Structure 1
Amino acid sequence: MTSLTTLKGAQERVVRTGGVELCVAELGDPGRPTVVLVHGYPDSKEVWSEVAVRLADRFHVVLYDVRGHGRSTAPKPLRGGFTLAKLTDDFLAVVDAVSPDRPVHLVGHDWGSVQSWEFVTVGRTEGRIASFTSMSGPSLDHFGHWINARVKRPTPRRVGQLLGQGAKSWYVYLLHTPALPELAWRGPLGKRWPRILERIEQVPGDGYPTPSLRSDAANGAWLYRDNVRARLLRPRQDAYAHAPVQLITPLGDAFLSERLYDDLETWAPQLTRRTLPAKHWIPRTRPDQVAAWIAEFVTGVEGGRPEPARATGHHADRFGGQLVLVTGAGSGIGRATAFAFAEAGARVVAVDRDAESASRTAELSRLLGAPSAWAEIVDVSDEQAMEKLAEKVAAEYGVVDVLVNNAGIGLSGSFFATTPDDWRKVLDVNLWGVIHGCRLFGKQMAERGQGGHIVNVASAAAYQPSRALPAYGTSKAAVLMLSECLRAELADRGIGVSAICPGFVNTNITSTARFTGVDAEEERRRRKSTARLYGKRNYPPEKVAQAIMEAVVRNEAVTPVTPEARGAYLMSRYAPGALRRLARVEPRI
């Protein structure tokens, strides 16, 4: 992780306005579009350091300490010194200094977003803001109207929403008490806050927050006292956004309900919505995804579109911008899965042992809507190669949000015709490949502490015994049990694990499957016969890909795919004896 103070090329300046001095930091080329990052409470501009460094190669990035925070001075007296009008004066002073001739792209988190809603809805800033990205901070005016609508026309559902948000806003009441917040922040709370963030929000302990936290938090209490009560009681009637708005909503936010934004299109007609399975402090915990969405939105607006090109696939709001890694992505179910996530706007890492196939999947993923897609060449059975892959992905692309362990090989033949070498090959890929993926990428998810999902592609053969598939069925049954065990272990870390169990799916695994106990000519004949059978069945891999996405969204434990897989799954639970009798039938190929 990178601290802002160590960023190469960062330059600081002081902007004076309204009796205060604002510390402003700049990165990137001033000739490019300017992105202004506004921090929240009780933060300083350093909350944005990980996002800023990811944007600096494409934009002119500006961060500033809000008055009374970080290295900016505080107004005297504090009371009345943090009104939204004065914060707007500060913003205009900063943008006039850093981008006098061109509107800026505004990004706010927490109270940085609250005040930025003011900036983007008042007349005196019109023409100075090109776009606004909001995270975890509503407009106080919109919030006031939201409350009034539920008070004036109460229903059980609306009353529940009011009570729910009221409970989440417990800290707002405390911040209005005289002197108590200042005493707490300058005393035990300020000392313990970094550990609280690390334990509850899983914010990395990387030197953030800065030593100015105690005074920042004490001064920042006036943000609430100077603004919240007055605006909620008398919200503005003209609080309409005069620039395109992107809303990023962390679904695990402990302080704000999703329902606050139900009617936001009324106030922001050019609205792009995003959701993220994460907690409140996403600039620190999800900098890769936040930076990717900001870059996409800014690039779209700069290109003349009121909102960026949007992914149109299923669950675009759920997976847009997330990092998805798929093994065995060069063909079949793996390629279809990569495409499905790409259409939903995810960033895709296509992993395959065939370089050309992986590159083709990545190329097509970008065409289908993935903001970024990369090809990585690896044999999943190679432990050291997988370790290097995990290190590279984390360093260059970020922590994976969804892992799909799909790579697999087919093997058919009786138990006694299956040699130890045959067993090793099928277990190395089908089982150990999954173990390597779960161990390496799952560990990164767990250490990040912001959840994620692991999908292990097993097979109906995992619970449907067959005299012709002892090695293959054993490998897939092991994957199924591994998934169940891992699901239990990772549940309290917010990481879901799903086992996908397809039946007969028309993929090229049939043409590459091995048949033991026969000569080469007979093996070729059986491959052709099996491929022809699966072709007649013609169940497309795209349907398996959709089932994988649904399993992630619903956090399903086991997902049989195809009618025969579902039927066998039911039999395995309610009529296992009948399934065992079917296993005795020798398949004719």
Structure 2
Amino acid sequence: MNVLSGDVRLAVQVQGDPTAPTVVLVHGYPDTHAVWDDVVPLLVKDFRVVTYDVRGAGASDRPRGRDAYRLELLKQDLFAVVDAVSPDRPVHLVAHDWGSIQSWEAVTEPGARIASFTSISGPCLDHMGHWLRSRPSVAHLRQLLRSWYVLAFHLPVLAPLVWKLGLARRWGNVLRRAEGVTRSPARTLKADAVQGIALYRANVLPRFKAPRPRRTDIPVQVVQPLRDAYVDTTPLDLERWVTTLRRRTLACGHWAPLTHPAAVARMVAEFVHDTSPRRELVVVTGGGSGIGRATALAFARQGALVVVSDVDMVKAQETAAMVGGHAYRVDVSDGRAMRAWAEEVAAAHGVPDVLVNNAGVGHSGSFLSTSTEQWRRVLDVNLWGVVNGCRAFGELMVDRAEGGHVVNLSSAAAYLPSKVLSAYATSKAAVFMLSDCLRAELAPAGIGVSTICPGVVKTDITATTTFSGVGEEEQACKQARSSRLYALRGFGPDRVAAEIVHAVRTGKAVVPVTVEAKAARLLSRAAPSALRAIAKLDVL
């Protein structure tokens, strides 16, 4: 169908049940409505989906002159489409790139008939203008470098010449190489690309020179692709301008509708059905006591929904009650049980944003005195428990494509050799290296990995630590002695939890906790022979 906006004819496509909620998709530059071709079939099952070619693109009219592409006219076009396709009900707006920029103009208009707005890779130019006027920072420099093309588009001859010389014809190949796009949208027409340069010339400098206060009470979801080479909305103080704001990330480049249509459709559907702020979901293994419980409490204080597991269901439930979360009994050494639990968590609560592989057991004894069964117990829990957690939840996090963070509890023993901790130190060293390998593998998916290396910390692990070559009575004495020594150290699990939260927020890779852990980490890199000498002493 065609819709008139003033004297400009807009080509509009409508699909789906007329009685269903209406979702309007707005494309960017130098695209057409075809950029949404893989998203539409995923939404049309539940929504009435509307796409259209903006002025200057595709089958819509191409008015001449820079002033014909001012934001206020683009806003009028959007409202004309909304009035035509949904005259009686508000619509849910989804936009990408310049589609988002012009949609922000509409969303920040008082009385706009928009129920929700999902913005992908396109800021409000006024919000960006206010931010650029704030104190200069590294983020400002990065954005200026990203936006090199904006300056190029203002040059009188260069930008039109590049498109005319064949970039439009080769645009599909450019997207495939730069973005990993497997199916390019309809070929960009030379006339569209050249005329669309007016979008930049008519709007960018005026808005940056004199940014307006643009506020909205419409619920807004901002999706930031993690590998976007052109736009980063993360530093913008959107909370200042938007009453109800949900920020989300997507592990992809700029053209998310082309590379990750399923993730885009899922985010849109979730936001249409529930525009309330989304709580961070944190999963903690071994959360019944010690560092696990303290970590659950620390994330809960920041508003996260926490799911904990433990082999002791009573303790897990106690922690869950403290944080208003959920408890499960799970043996982390059982790979099948862990995978089933991960699927259960995803079905009931969603895919976690943060996974903390904390469950662990202690063991002390020389290599020769440690039995095969004791080795197996330590490796099953301390190493395989982490492997199982990373595999079960890591696959879900990668498939979700929204990034996330994995925290693996290692130990200072990972790099501090001891003749009486061969099994325990080996398991923790393996976790350390696993984390390094996993960090490299998951980086393209936007998933960070932090390795936490506590030293002597007062936790319940000392009460359950086993010892090689001793009877039950002597083992009980050793456990009591270890507990007293660790208590005298006075370093509580809450301080480890604070370091874990900080590592997740900052993306820190390796975090030694306690003075002795930091000193040993330094020595392991600067003077490893000194640590090997210390290992021969009876200090642990």
TM-score computed with the length of structure 2 as normaliser: 0.75
- Structure 1 residues 515, 456: CA separation in 2 closer, same or farther (over 3 Å shift)? same
Q: Is the 8 A contact 1:465 1:580 kept in 2?
A: no
Residue type of the alignment partner of 2:28: G
In the alignment, does 2:21 pair up with 1:40?
Answer: no
Give the superposition deviation at 1:119. Answer: 0.5
SS at match of 1:504: coil
Matches within 5 A, 1:309-324: 321=280, 324=282
**What amino acid sits opposite 2:378 in the alignment?**
V
- Give 1:514's aligned amino acid: T
Q: Write the letter of the residue equivalent to 1:558.
A: V
2:242 is aligned with 1:254: no
Match of 2:518 in 1: 566
For these two proteins, the number of residue pairs brought into alignment is: 526
Alignment of 1:277-426 (within 5 A): 278=251, 279-282=253-256, 285=260, 299=274, 308=277, 321=280, 324-344=282-302, 350-353=308-311, 367=324, 378-386=330-338, 402-426=354-378
- 2:199 maps to what in 1? 227
- Tell me which of 170, 175, 179 is aligned to 1:193: 175
**1:585 is matched with which residue?**
538
| Matching residue within 91, 100, 107 for 1:120 | 107
State whether structure 2 residue 490 is matched by structure 1 residue 542. no
Q: For residue 228 of structure 2, what is the amino acid of its counterpart?
A: D
Q: Which runs of 5+ in 1 are unaligned?
A: 1-13, 302-307, 311-319, 368-372
Partner of 2:13 in structure 1?
A: 23
Contact 2:299 2:306 survives alignment (8 Å)? yes
Q: 1:91 maps to which residue?
A: 78
Post-superposition shift, 1:248?
A: 4.7
The alignment status of 1:167 with 2:154, answered yes or no, reads no
CA distance in 2, matches of 1:387, 1:155: 47
Deviation at 1:419, TM superposition (A): 0.9
How far does residue 273 in structure 1 lie from its aligned partner after superposition? 7.4
Name the CA shift for 1:550/1:242 in 2 (closer, same or farther; >3 Å): closer
Deviations 1:363-422 (A, max 9, x none): 765x4xxxxx77665433234444556677788877765443322111223434321111
Specify which of 118, 122, 136 is matched with residue 137 of structure 1: 122
Range moving further from structure 2, 462-471 or 482-491:
482-491
Percent pairwise identity: 44
The SS at the match of 2:382 is helix
Q: How does 1:39-118 map to 2 (within 5 A)?
A: 39-41=27-29, 42=31, 44=33, 47=36, 61=47, 63-67=49-53, 74-77=59-62, 79=64, 84-96=71-83, 100-101=87-88, 103-104=90-91, 106-118=93-105
* Residue 223 to residue 448, structure 1, CA distance change in 2 (3 Å): farther
- What is the alpha-carbon distance in structure 2 between the residues aligned to residue 533 and residue 48 of structure 1? 65
Distance apart, 1:255 and its partner CA: 0.6
Larger CA deviation: 249-258 vs 161-170: 161-170
* Displacement after TM superposition at 1:137 (Å): 1.1
Distance change (3 Å), C-alpha of 1:489 and 1:519: same
1:515 aligns with 2:473: no
The alpha-carbon deviation at position 561 of structure 1 amounts to 0.8
Cα offset for 1:214? 1.5
Structure-1 separation of matches of 2:376 and 2:497: 28
Secondary structure of residue in 2 paired with 1:407? coil
Quote the Cα distance in structure 2 between the aligned partners of 1:454 and 1:159.
Answer: 29
Aligned-partner Cα distance in 2 for 1:50–1:108: 12
Q: Which amino acid aligns with 2:287?
A: A
Seen in structure 2, the aligned counterparts of structure 1 residues 288 and 398 have a Cα distance that, compared at 3 Å, is farther
Cα distance in 2 for partners of 1:474, 1:395 equals 35
Measured after TM superposition, the shift of residue 361 of structure 1 is 5.4
Whether the aligned pair in 1 keeps the contact of 2:263 and 2:401 (CA below 8 Å) is no
Cα 1:416–1:329 shift into 2, 3 Å: same
Q: How far apart are residue 559 of structure 1 and its match?
A: 1.6
SS across alignment from 2:187 = helix
Which position in structure 2 is the counterpart of 1:315? none
Which residue does 1:7 correspond to in 2? none
Aligned-pair CA distance for 1:526: 3.8
- Cα RMSD of the aligned pairs, angstroms, is 4.9
Gaps of 5+ in 2: none
Q: Which residue of 2 aligns with 1:11?
A: none
The 3 A distance-change label for structure 1 pair 504 and 28 is farther
Structure 1 position 501, deviation (Å)? 1.0
- Equivalent pair of 2:288/2:318 in contact (CA under 8 Å): yes
Answer yes or no: is the 8 Å Cα contact 2:169–2:190 preserved in 1.
Answer: no
8 A Cα contact 1:39 1:109, kept in partner: yes
Cα deviation, residue 355, structure 1:
5.5
Deviates more, 1:272-281 or 1:497-506: 272-281
Shift of 1:104: 4.6
